[in-house]
Structure 1
């Protein structure tokens, strides 16, 4: 039994296309979490209904994102009851794919050789180097390679996975033939680690397990980051109350619990950084005002994030940015430098 009462964190998401990260409806996935009390959340929702004159039973983010309700959205984002009690984890979907490609190949190879490139910052730097510089070196061929990797990860069976992996290898060989490409060495480490994709494919296909793990779904990573962040801030175990979603199955929840309790399994440098996820309760958002508040924040986060991708300043950006989690999966040019990347990794823990 847990000696310390868990911190209850209510969550919702916006912009999730599952593992279809490159050709879905949104370029950004947002996952919001709040630790406000139910009564405070209910009061917030009642006030927002009054301000927007909404008669709906469940007020969603699309209401406060209407231009005429922008003042209400700003009011919510700056409300005192959310200060220190709300967080928005943003995932840049294309960057997520690039990071997954690097981590599942180059990082796995380094791990095999006894090198912890999470600790040195090389893992984060490598992903950012590929994200920012590979398009300059390879143009649309780079986008096609990423799409091939996504198809490999989403393969329906082993035969399909094998075909897409063969296509990925051919594509990478073609890109590596350009000896003048500025990221050729980085891509070379990815190529050297391609053989590690076989074990990842088995997880994706559910071979030897109860179900497919779908590690390309940003929701799983976001839930893990949310628990780790709130656990670190509070020093307490975390209980998640989440809007019902079919992806948070008992098997996946158990997988997240194990990952969080034994982070050293990913990298030795994470020894001692364990946190406890006690439970994930899936609820109907209509019945929990805390989840409704999280929905409003997630929807706002997605819209602001998409404006950042398109390099446009959204009117709500200044109000939302203070809530954005430092663990968000977002490309940062400065993190192409290994030392900057190392400091960024350390700041997350």
Structure 2
């Protein structure tokens, strides 16, 4: 385990609707992280304020994403200190939900039989196949499955979990009456519903000291951020994060434990653990490093939202170098099992 002083990474987010992935305020969640010093962040914020002529007590991303401030946003994204000192983890929320559905059913069945679907890219390939092809194959019935699954994972009581699981079962049964090449995938997912009971118990906090938030994109984004900067720096990581109630002491402890022992999810990850020393929650109003992270996250979300809709954005070329390769984003190329295997082996 690493023993040297930790690298301090400041973070903020944009587009967070918690576990509401299907009909929140934004289809994209962006989590920015950076390693700027206090003084460098202060200098950047002074310049951004001057360029935008902002008089607000705390300049937020909603200002810099306005079209009239595009030049300022471009200046920020092209700042030399961000070239190697900033990263953005993106989550395509609908794809994230699809991947969770596959992981919670089919992948769990495979895991019980000793087959690691992460190792050869099978899980990655199947998630992309479902994301891109199931909507046209099943139309509104696919939406019913996803909504029922989301409601199940968001259940707050055992009774609500039972009711929503029954709705999910019924949604699957309706889809199974449709003859389509996608039917094999749906049959596999339906067969894996039996594994959702144990997940539901954890979702409700049974047997653990906190309720899991399986669908909250903030949790995997923080984990990915720690892994990125730990591997880039060779140091333990201290996260400085804008206040977020989801990052409770219990969840932070769970994240720290999962990062140290990744082999519990995939045996091939044995020996690749990283150290999260602490997560310090701050009021962004009093920390300019977090303020810069807020600006970057906001710009990234707006750009990614446009891209996800199949449209161009003038800042895409500037934000692209900052996007983490561990982002949770659909890719049609990954429907090809060989390409998915290549990506899985690389990661």
TM-score by length of 1: 0.97
1:271 to 2:275 alignment: no
Q: Is the 8 A contact 1:98 1:127 kept in 2?
A: yes
Counterpart in the other structure of 2:138: 138
Give CA-to-partner distance per residue, 1:74-103, whole Å, 9 cap, x none.
000000011111001100000010000001
Give CA-to-partner distance per residue, 1:16-39, whole Å, 9 cap, x none.
000011011110000000011111
Hey, what's the Cα distance between the residues in 1 that align with 2:235 and 2:250?
Answer: 23
List gaps (5 residues or longer) in structure 2: none
Hey, what's the Cα distance between the residues in 2 that align with 1:47 and 1:343?
Answer: 43
Counterpart in the other structure of 1:94: 94
Q: What is the Cα deviation at residue 234 of structure 1?
A: 1.4
Q: Map residues 159-308 of structure 1 onto 2, 5 A cutoff.
A: 159-179=159-179, 181-308=180-307
Q: Secondary structure at the match of 2:20?
A: coil
Q: Is the 8 A contact 2:41 2:288 kept in 1?
A: yes
List gaps (5 residues or longer) in structure 1: none
Q: Is the 8 A contact 2:2 2:235 kept in 1?
A: no
Hey, what's the Cα distance between the residues in 2 that align with 1:209 and 1:47?
Answer: 47
TM-score by length of 2: 0.98
Q: What is the Cα deviation at residue 167 of structure 1?
A: 1.4
Counterpart in the other structure of 1:336: 335
Hey, what's the Cα distance between the residues in 2 that align with 1:52 and 1:160?
Answer: 48
Moved over 4 A (4+): none
Q: What is the Cα deviation at residue 56 of structure 1?
A: 2.0
Counterpart in the other structure of 2:40: 40
Q: Map residues 139-158 of structure 1 onto 2, 5 A cutoff.
A: 139-158=139-158
1:347 to 2:346 alignment: yes
Q: Which moved more, 1:183-192 or 1:224-233?
A: 183-192
Q: What is the Cα deviation at residue 2 of structure 1?
A: 6.0
How many pairs are equivalent? Answer: 347
Q: Is the 8 A contact 2:241 2:282 kept in 1?
A: yes
Q: What is the Cα deviation at residue 44 of structure 1?
A: 0.4
Hey, what's the Cα distance between the residues in 1 that align with 2:344 and 2:60?
Answer: 34
